[in-house]
Amino acid sequence: MTAGRTVPFDLADVPVLLARTPAVLRVWLGDLPSPWLQANEGPDTFSPHEVLGHLIHGEEADWIPRARLILEHGPDRPFESFDRFAHRRRLADRSTAELLELFARLRADNLAVLAQWDLAAEQLALRGRHPELGEVTLGQLLATWVAHDLGHLAQIARVMATQFAAAVGPWHAYLPVLHRATRSP
């Protein structure tokens, strides 16, 4: 078996990939019945509905605010800690339809900010300070933003596929999505 191929990081790919997530989620989750939207993988994990809230909180408190800190202050001003569960307090009463709209608007706004910055490749090496990880670069932050989206899309797929775990019978052995251990919300 050969190792998988990877695509080299290219700043131009970041907005192209990030712009797709709201549309994917709108099509995927937009009119699903509540049981599908509320299913999760156990305590302290996210349902598809909660993933939306978490992504919204990231748009408000993580990616662009941290990139701005790097651009304006470098490692001299550390990032604020990110509460991965803050959406549970703030957005608990919102419908999935409302969250889909809010996420799409916030993502579009943040991508507009990113475009206005007109970042050059050299700026990807600028450093910031993460409260747990220490020094990180702007390029790493932007790459993480994309990987974070993709990870949560995979999580939603896993949560939804698991609803069929008992129904697939012997095909369970051929469906890694049904027996992959969960790691985090």
CATH number of the domain enclosing 17:
1.20.120.450
Q: Work out how many domains the chain is built from and give that number.
A: 1
Q: Which domain holds residue 132?
A: 13-178
What tens digit of pLDDT does each residue of 17-69 get?
A: 999 999 999 999 999 999 999 999 888 889 999 999 999 999 999 999 999 99
**What's the confidence (pLDDT) of residue 47?**
93
> DSSP per residue over the chain, as a string?
-PPPP-PPP-TTHHHHHHTHHHHHHHHHHTT--HHHHH--SSTT---HHHHHHHHHHHHHHTHHHHHHHHHHHGGGSPPPP--TTHHHHHSTT--HHHHHHHHHHHHHHHHHHHHHHT--GGGGG-EEEETTTEEEEHHHHHHHHHHHHHHHHHHHHHHHHHTTTTTTGGGGGG-GGGTPPP---
Whether 95 is covered by a domain: the verdict is: yes
pTM of the model: 0.91
Whether 80 is covered by a domain: the verdict is: yes
